[in-house]
Amino acid sequence: MQLKESLQNAAAWYALLTDVQQARVLRDISVVHFSAGAMIERKGEMAYAWIGVLDGLIKVSVGNSDGKMASLTGVPAGGWIGEGSLLKREARKYDVVALRDCTIARLPAACFDWLLDNSIPFNRYLLHQLNERVAQFIGKAEYDRLLAPDARVARCLAELFNPLLYPGQGMRLNITQEEVGYLARISRQRTNQAMRVLEAAELLRIEYGAVQVLSLEGLKQYGM
């Protein structure tokens, strides 16, 4: 698939740009393929690019010197992350890891800043994304502390189908129960139980290596 077509499919902001701006993006952007388990971005390194998932699934996580890890969120194809670090000119505060084979785009900071200076639609897109990301992490802090595993899996899945953060995703996502477990921070066995409960509640349908959401609002409200 050509780069322009990939961006049209996995970068909702690209269609908001003028022809000149799109040409600059195509000139400056780079694409790298990563195998499952590979480190894409490392905590503590200076941010030099905006990160987009053209294909695959990544995990944003943090850890400490004792080896303890905590997943912050998952990002499927169509998601873009790291704008906060670019705007603040700071080192990344998290690791970005490929949960499966991924195709990752990097938009350099210079081009990112140029779009901010020259595109009102791009600024508006970024503002909506930042606002939605704040709401996402506030919600995650709440349900991690207050909800039972079944509800945590429901919210974790609902996050991956967020139409503002991951537009064009549709209601079906290629994701395994093991990957859901990584993101919800529970065992694969407990994840399987939770997904069966959610399927029985007619909120989703489990497929081989995928999940079909039947009620996104139901997943968001489950366990309230």
Task: State mean pLDDT over 101-113.
Answer: 96
CATH architecture for the domain at 148-221: Orthogonal Bundle (1.10)
How does pLDDT run across 161-171, given as a tens digit for each residue? 887 888 767 78
Nearest alpha-carbon partner for 47 in 22, 81, 70: 81
Sheet with 57-63, strands from edge to edge, namely: 39-41, 95-98, 57-63, 69-76
Give the three-state DSSP class for 53. Answer: strand
The segment with the largest mean pLDDT, out of 9-13, 132-136, 147-151, is 9-13
The answer to whether 149 touches 197, Cβ cutoff 8 Å, is: no
Question: Model confidence at 64, in pLDDT bands (50, 70, 90)?
Answer: low
pLDDT at 209: 86
What pLDDT was estimated at residue 68? 64
- The Cα 96–Cα 139 span in angstroms is 21
Per DSSP, the chain holds a count of helices (H) and strands (E) of 9, 11
* Mean pLDDT of the region 146-170: 82
Quick one: average pLDDT of 69-79?
A: 82
Element (H, E) at 196: helix 188-200
- Domain range list for the chain: 3-132, 148-221
Please state, in angstroms and rounded to a whole number, the distance separating the CA atoms of residues 46 and 49.
9
The third-level CATH classification (topology) of the domain covering 3-132 is: Jelly Rolls (2.60.120)
Q: Whole-angstrom Cα distance, residue 115 to residue 123?
A: 8
Q: Which two tokens stand for residue 73?
A: 């969120």
